[in-house]
């Protein structure tokens, strides 16, 4: 009787440990935001006309602020997102829309933006707008940006906050990834959000 009792306790502890491992809540790699309000909507211009955040209600939306002349940070981030989508497969990727908002409307025409972002993944879209519109949107999304001198008058660079944001299906800002997040980490968080 005593042996059976000890065995039952041991099995229970093992099962509890197993249950904890398999049922533990997902730990996000990005920082989870619990905003009570939907994310600020915007309307900017892409190669196929105006694009609003609210157009993609029902999908997960990844928003990244950058520019096509960006030497390293932007292509590295977009390449990681593209790799994450490829790893997740077409079906899951079709539920996700990635939007790059260009902070450089002087040089990034909608056509140039479209060519740039689709180089990373065919589903990506690139949009931009007036300087005033961009200042309002970046202010509200916590993105600081500022021109800095390049090697010639037209070859300027733009310092900018390099976070990657995820808006959930209902339009709420849910996750903020820092620069340097890997494609695997992005994929794990997105897959969890798609299951919810």
Partner 1 sequence: MNKYILNIVYGLGALIVISALAFKIFQPIQVLPRMQLAPAFLLVDQDNRPLTSEDLRGQFVIYSFTYTNCPAPCYNINDTVKEIQSRLGEVELNNIPVTFVTLSIDPERDTAEVLNAYAQTLGADTTRWKFATTTNQTLLKTVIGVGLETYYEKKEDGSFAFDPAFVLVDGLGIVRAEYRYATEVSNTDRILRHLGVLADEVKNSTGTNKLAYEAAHLFLCYAP
Residue nearer to partner 1 on the CB measure, 5 or 153 = 5
- Chosen residue from 83, 118, 123, 161 binding partner 1 by CB under 8 A: 161
* Residue whose CB is less far from partner 1, 123 or 138: 138
* x/- letters, 13..32, toward partner 1 (CB under 8 A): --xx--x---xxx-xx--xx
Please count the other Cβ atoms lying within 10 Å of the Cβ belonging to residue 26.
Answer: 12
The site string for partner 1 over 31-60 (x = CB under 8 A, - otherwise) reads xxxxxxx--x--------------------
Decide if residue 179 touches partner 1 (CB under 8 A).
no
Distance of CA 64 to the CA centre of its chain: 6
Residue of the chain from 72, 91, 132, 149 that contacts partner 1 (CB under 8 A): 132
Q: How far is the CB of 80 from partner 1 (least distance, A)?
A: 20
What distance in Å separates the CA atoms of residue 191 and residue 93, rounded to the nearest whole number? 10
Compare residues 21 and 49 and give the one whose CB is closer to partner 1.
21
Are 43 and 89 a contacting pair, CB within 8 Å? no
3-state SS, residue 175: strand
Label residue 123 exposed, middle or buried (CB < 10 Å: 0-12, 13-18, 19+). Answer: middle
SS3 174: strand
- Reduce the DSSP state of residue 145 to 3 states and report it: strand
**CB–CB of 175/187 below 8 Å?**
no
Give the one residue of 135, 155, 170, 179 binding partner 1; rule: CB under 8 A. 135
Q: Are 185 and 51 in contact (CB under 8 A)?
A: no
- As measured in angstroms, the least distance from the Cβ of 148 to partner 1 is 13
**Residue for token pair 């494609």:** 183
Handedness of CA 179, 184, 189, 190 (dihedral sign): positive
Q: Which of 63, 74, 125, 143 binds partner 1 (CB under 8 A)?
A: 143
What number of chain residues touch partner 1 (CB under 8 A)? 34
Residue 71 within binding range of partner 1, rule CB under 8 A = no
Out of 54, 94, 130, 139, the only residue in the binding site for partner 1 (CB under 8 A) is 139
């Amino acid at each position: 009787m005593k042996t059976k009792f000890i065995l039952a306790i041991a099995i229970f502890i093992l099962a509890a440990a197993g249950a904890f491992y398999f049922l533990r809540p997902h730990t996000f790699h990005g920082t989870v935001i619990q905003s009570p309000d939907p994310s600020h909507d915007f309307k900017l211009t892409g190669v196929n006309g105006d694009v609003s955040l609210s157009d993609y209600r029902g999908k997960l939306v990844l928003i990244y602020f950058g520019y096509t002349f960006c030497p390293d940070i932007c292509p590295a981030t977009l390449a990681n997102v593209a790799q994450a989508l490829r790893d997740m497969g077409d079906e899951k990727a079709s539920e996700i829309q990635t939007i790059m908002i260009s902070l450089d409307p002087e040089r990034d025409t909608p056509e140039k933006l479209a060519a740039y972002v689709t180089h990373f993944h065919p589903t990506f879209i690139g949009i931009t707008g007036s300087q005033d519109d961009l200042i309002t949107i970046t202010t509200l999304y916590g993105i600081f940006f500022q021109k800095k001198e390049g090697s010639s008058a037209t070859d300027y660079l733009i310092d900018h906050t390099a976070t990657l944001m995820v808006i959930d299906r209902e339009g709420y800002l849910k996750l903020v990834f820092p620069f340097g997040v890997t494609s695997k980490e992005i994929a794990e968080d997105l897959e969890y959000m798609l299951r919810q």
